Structure 1
Amino acid sequence: MFKNIKVIAFDADDTLWVNETYFREAEETFAELISKYETKNKIDQELFKTEIKNLEIYGYGIKGFVLSMVECALELSNYKLPQKTIEKILDIGKEMLAQPIELLDGVEEVLSNLQGKYKLIVATKGDLLDQEKKLEKSNLLKYFHHIEVMSDKKEKDYLKLMKHLEVEPSELLMIGNSLKSDVLPLVALGASAIHIPFHTTWAHEEVTSEEKNDASYKTISKITDILNFL
């Protein structure tokens, strides 16, 4: 099924390196910081609502997440949040941005094997500066022909990417951990996709069985499995 592939696109966060784990840890710290105002369950719910509401304004990434935490904390505290607590929320974001890159097992083995056989690119979404820094710290830049930091990963965004790369959908394979962002839009366009589930997924990226709609894609447990058929 991959015989026509010329370009392989890799998602970055939770496909090449650990990312979502840091968001879960940040949410725990945030809930503890403002626990005097609400229950943890309510804080988690309200933070998620605030993040989704702000996506169109801030986009994806840590900076937007921090601004949403501040907004959520102010609202839950009835705007009585101490300045020191706001400072601590900002520190959560700074710590996230400073995290070292933890490559997932087998990533460099796969990239070194595929380099030269296919044109390898990164297709990720998030904050441009943050993603550029992650790529630099990862020492993986040498494997990639092109880096695309996308504001979103919908069908129109992938069509724009394919036009830029001058590649047909049948010639593109996308590899990522999110069915919603890395798999289903590609399959709908006639491209190929491989799903590598990560142990934790942001609620916004979850899909229902109806959304999968019998889409044709391959699921593997670890990234090195792709070497069995590429």
Structure 2
Amino acid sequence: MTCVAKVVMLKLCLLIFTNQILTLPQQIEITEYINATVGEDVLFSTNSTSAVNRSVEWKYNCGTSQKSIVMLTFSEHDDKIFQHYKDRVHLYKNGSFLLLNIESNDTGCYTVTLVDTSGSEVTIKKWLSVFDKPASPTPNNEVNITLSSNSTTWNIIGISTGVTVLGFCAVGIYLLRRWMQESTEAAIPGMKNNENLNSSVPMVVYSTYVGTFPNYGKSCQISPLDQT
């Protein structure tokens, strides 16, 4: 609060507690600054009581435009809230008012003119600056849910890819083995299709003994032990 404001407040307090009429300068001007966020309620105070004032008038000034907000005349017990602020103002008995749910276009200068019982005027200017709400941070649980969902998706993709690769490898190995077996069979003339060169089952040779010629009548067929 500036020195001029302190002097004014001191004189007003002396007037209240001593019931003396103090002679104030014909006009005093005080400037104050208010910062607020969109959606808040802002109190515009007269910093005085109705006992020392004869009338209070609030106006909004923005550039060249001017709007009347409220006017109170204590001697006549008359108060008025102007139409433009009818549903946005809560008025107090000493002439202060609460501006509800402020918006960005409420930025500007609010002027109150106080006329005391001696006819002296005090003008107070309140500069209101309205700022947008800061962006809300993303809650941690939403981040965790997103990360968990992404991890699950990648796990499913990885498993599917692995199974597909293993399937292709198994089919490739099977086809390679078949190709190698068929190539071997084709390289040996007269080999039966049901013979397996890679089998560990011992082969048996059937023969017929005739006289003293042990090799006479031997069969040329080679068969596994389990054949009859």
Choose 1 or 2 for highest CA Rg: 2
Superposition TM-score, scaled by structure 1 size? 0.18
In proportion to residue count, which structure has more strand? 2
Superposition TM-score, scaled by structure 2 size? 0.18
In proportion to residue count, which structure has more helix? 1
Structure having greater relative contact order (Cα 8 Å, sep ≥ 6): 1
